[in-house]
Structure 1
Amino acid sequence: MQVSIVDAFTRTAGAGNRAGVVLDAVGLDAEAMQRIAAAVGASETAFMLSGPDGGVRLRYFTPKAEIDFCGHATVATFHLLAERGLLPREGHARLECAAGTLDVELEAMGGGASRAWIVTPRHAWETPPVPLSKVLPLVGGSVDMVDETLPAYRNAQRLVVPFRRREDVWNLAPRAGALAELLGPHGMRGLYVFTRDVREAGSVAHARYFVPGVGVAEDPVTGSAAGPLGVYLASHGVLSLPAEGGTVRARIEQGDAIGKPGRIEVEVTGRAGAPERARIGGVAVTVLEGTLRA
């Protein structure tokens, strides 16, 4: 099986979030894909079942489970398709996955690279089903670290919690098994924490994501969470949308705490206080090409 290893949300090999990409997955069943993803060992591996002419159809597997959508593995796949000349370096494409049909735009960048812009699935923002006083000690945190000017929410299968200080975010150390045991019965797979205490001018948030529910102790740079975070920040006035409607862009930092820095561009469209759509944007670099015998 031909497998590519691609680092997404970075142009530096070894940084960002590593994905496996199998461009010819026709004929593979779920069991085979799961076995390949486990052998690759990246946080996610994307399997292309059709495309690109009729729309790119992908399935995503962590080393332990299948998931509906993965931002960095999608960036990695479209980077690879453009790099190989299977898609133009600039233009629109259609992504089909378990989360639905999503628009993808390739933007030509300098040096022959392309940035992939991907519309992210939307999910309701709900009251957390578990008290933060029970969750945060399992990652080495406490409720006094929380930014009380912003709410904590459940969004899909993740708990989203704002912190005041980047230092506290960096010092978190999850007990993966205990966290999965607490969140799992409530249909949640992980904890996404962020702070507005950023490292770089132009960034709006700095994040970490612990996802033990799918066998990923920490996901280095998470596009599927960054898009919803953009909607959250626009809903609460951290990102300012025009009253008459328009678009705002910002950058989310992630991965720095574990030595794999990546940067996710986020674009939110809508009216002030009423965001309607989010896209994530990211570049990537191909690290390895090879044959996997699994």
Structure 2
Amino acid sequence: MQVSIVDAFTRTPGAGNRAGVVLDAAGLGVDAMQRIAAAVGASETAFVLTGPGAEGVKLRYFTPTDEIEFCGHATVATFHLLTERALLPRSGTTRLECGAGVLDVELEATEVSGSRAWIQTPKRPWAESPVSLAQALALVGGTVDMVDTSLPVLRNGHRLMVPMRRREDVWALAPRSGPLAELLRPHGMTGVYVFTRDTREAGSVAHSRYFAPGVGIAEDPVTGAAGGPLGMYLAMHGVLELPAAGGTVRARIEQGDAIGKPGRIEVEVTGRAGQPEQVRIGGVAVTVLEGSLRI
């Protein structure tokens, strides 16, 4: 089986978030895809089932232990590879079909070789945390006095989103993966996403880390599927200011720096002030390795 290794949300090999990509997965069963993802060992591997074609591209995503509905960095990696192989034009629009539904994708040719993929992210409901904040923070190695109380702790889909005051506290976290997964599992949750407005770069809006032991990922280096909801969250609470009459705002999220794999997620939020309606994530990638995997 031919497999590509691609680092997403970066142009530097070894940085960002690594994804496996299988461009010709038609005919592979779930068991085979799961074995391939486990052998590749990236946080996610994307499998192209159909396309590219008039109907777009159909993908399935697997962590080393589970199938998931949507993965931002593996999608960026896949569209990077498709344009690099000239299977898609470097600019234009297409669609992505995955477990989360049908999502719009725009490819934007960059000055450097390749494209930036802008991907509509799935919407998930917002709710209060179903678990004790103190307990969840203790299991990621933090305490409640690290929380930025000017913003709410909220659940979005299968992740808990926790704002923190200082970047040094975010960097100091050291999760206990097994107990954290056990705490979240009864509530249908798989991870804790922590972020702070204390960024490394002046042009960024947030700095983050994501622990997802519920799907076999101790720490995901750069998480597009969480960056999209974070963009919406920040617009909901006025950190990203949308025009009162409606419009679009863009920002950048930092992730991966704490573990030596820095990546940058572009986010684009559309809507009215305090009422975001849609979010897209944008990112570039670099192909690191091409090879054959014996399964």
TM-score category, normalised to shorter length: over 0.9
Distance 1:139 1:277 in 2: 30
* Residue in 1 that maps onto 2:35: 35
* Residue ranges of structure 2 left out of the alignment (5+ in a row): none
Question: How is 1:39-118 mapped onto 2 (pairs within 5 angstroms)?
Answer: 39-53=39-53, 54-118=55-119
TM-score w.r.t. length of structure 1:
1.00
Aligned residues: 294
Distance 1:287 1:84 in 2: 14
* Residue in 1 that maps onto 2:140: 139
Q: Deviations over 1:148-205 (max 9, x none)?
A: 0000000000000000000000000000001001011110000000000000011000
The one-letter code matched in structure 2 to 1:90 is S
* Residue ranges of structure 1 left out of the alignment (5+ in a row): none
Q: Deviations over 1:223-245 (max 9, x none)?
A: 00000000000000000000000
Question: How is 1:174-189 mapped onto 2 (pairs within 5 angstroms)?
Answer: 174-189=175-190
Distance 1:100 1:81 in 2: 20
148-157 vs 105-114, which moves further: 105-114
* Residue in 2 that maps onto 1:12: 12
Q: Provide runs of 4+ in structure 1 moved above 6 Å.
A: none
- The offset of 1:285, in angstroms, is 0.1
The one-letter code matched in structure 1 to 2:87 is L
The one-letter code matched in structure 1 to 2:149 is E
* Residue in 2 that maps onto 1:213: 214
Q: Deviations over 1:22-64 (max 9, x none)?
A: 0000010100000000000000000000001131000000000
Distance 1:65 1:272 in 2: 38
The one-letter code matched in structure 1 to 2:146 is M
Distance 1:132 1:145 in 2: 11
* Residue in 2 that maps onto 1:25: 25
The one-letter code matched in structure 2 to 1:14 is G
Q: CA RMSD in A?
A: 0.4
- The offset of 1:111, in angstroms, is 2.3
* Residue in 2 that maps onto 1:286: 287
The one-letter code matched in structure 2 to 1:84 is R
Distance 1:80 1:250 in 2: 25
Distance 1:155 1:272 in 2: 20
Distance 2:189 2:138 in 1: 17
SS in 2 for 1:280: strand
Distance 1:137 1:244 in 2: 42
- The offset of 1:139, in angstroms, is 1.1
Distance 1:65 1:112 in 2: 33
Identity of aligned residues (%): 77
Distance 1:214 1:177 in 2: 11
Question: How is 1:125-164 mapped onto 2 (pairs within 5 angstroms)?
Answer: 125-164=126-165
* Residue in 1 that maps onto 2:196: 195
- The offset of 1:112, in angstroms, is 2.0
Distance 2:119 2:166 in 1: 29
70-79 vs 132-141, which moves further: 132-141
Distance 2:140 2:128 in 1: 20
* Residue in 2 that maps onto 1:257: 258
Distance 1:47 1:140 in 2: 35
Question: How is 1:234-249 mapped onto 2 (pairs within 5 angstroms)?
Answer: 234-249=235-250
Distance 1:85 1:111 in 2: 16
Distance 2:104 2:259 in 1: 31
Distance 1:134 1:117 in 2: 36
Distance 1:111 1:260 in 2: 21
The one-letter code matched in structure 1 to 2:16 is G
